[in-house]
Structure 1
Amino acid sequence: MKDLMGLMGKAKEMQAKFQALQDEIANLEATGQSGGGLVQVTLSGKFDMRTLKIDTTLMRADEGEILEDLIMAAHNDAKAKVEALMQEKTRELTAGLPLPPGMKLPF
């Protein structure tokens, strides 16, 4: 019974840590870029777009498709960076926990 109470206490502690981690991840920001920095997208940890910057040299009527592709590439770059930050933060929190290989946490 004593072990069960200790396990329940540890579970509550881990739950609080995971909630803090989720809050921290939500406040993260990552900026992706494409076209050598001509297009930049900043995403939050929840993948909300915070900023979009487009160099004025790309704003020509005949280059709409190129600009669309660059925006998508910058967004995907920022998304990959947010995902990498999330994995890093999760790895830091779960270091030393006896989790089965490949187990994904509820994020």
Structure 2
Amino acid sequence: MRGMGNMQGMMKKMQKMQKEMMEAQEALNAEQFEGVAGGGMVKVAVTGQREIVEVNLDPSVVDPDDIEMLQDLIVVAANEALKKVDEKTNATMGKFTQGMNLPF
């Protein structure tokens, strides 16, 4: 009978951890991350769900004769923002899996 109480305690801890993980994920999803390129002339904002929600271009960076440069700057800014999402996700969610040997 003693093992049953221990099992119930473990289940409660797991449920609490699951709830905390869901809350942390929801907070990450609501957060916005910004990537910048071209010395701040191009800015891309993404959510924690990795959705682009805003692109801001300084008018001086829009050169009809050099579309490739603008495209490159947008890609750089978007990738920087997505990298920030990944870093924050790993830092936030990693604390729930520390010490667990989970395969990836």
TM range (shorter): 0.7 to 0.9
> Which runs of 5 or more residues in structure 2 are unaligned?
none
- SS state of the match for residue 30, structure 1? strand
Q: Name the structure 1 match of 2:16.
A: 13
Normalised TM-score (structure 1): 0.86
Provide the aligned C-alpha RMSD in A: 1.6
Q: How many residues align?
A: 101
> Which runs of 5 or more residues in structure 1 are unaligned?
none
Q: Which has the larger radius of gyration?
A: 2
Runs of 4+ in structure 1 deviating by more than 6 angstroms, as ranges, are none
Distance in 2 (CA, whole Å) between partners of 1:103 and 1:28 is 27
- SS state of the match for residue 78, structure 2? helix
Aligned residue runs from structure 1 range 90-101, under 5 A: 90-91=93-94, 93-94=95-96, 97-100=98-101
Report the residue type matching 2:7 in the other structure: L
Q: Name the structure 2 match of 1:62.
A: 65
Normalised TM-score (structure 2): 0.88
1:43 matched to 2:46: yes
Aligned-pair distance for 1:103?
4.6
Identity of aligned residues (%): 26
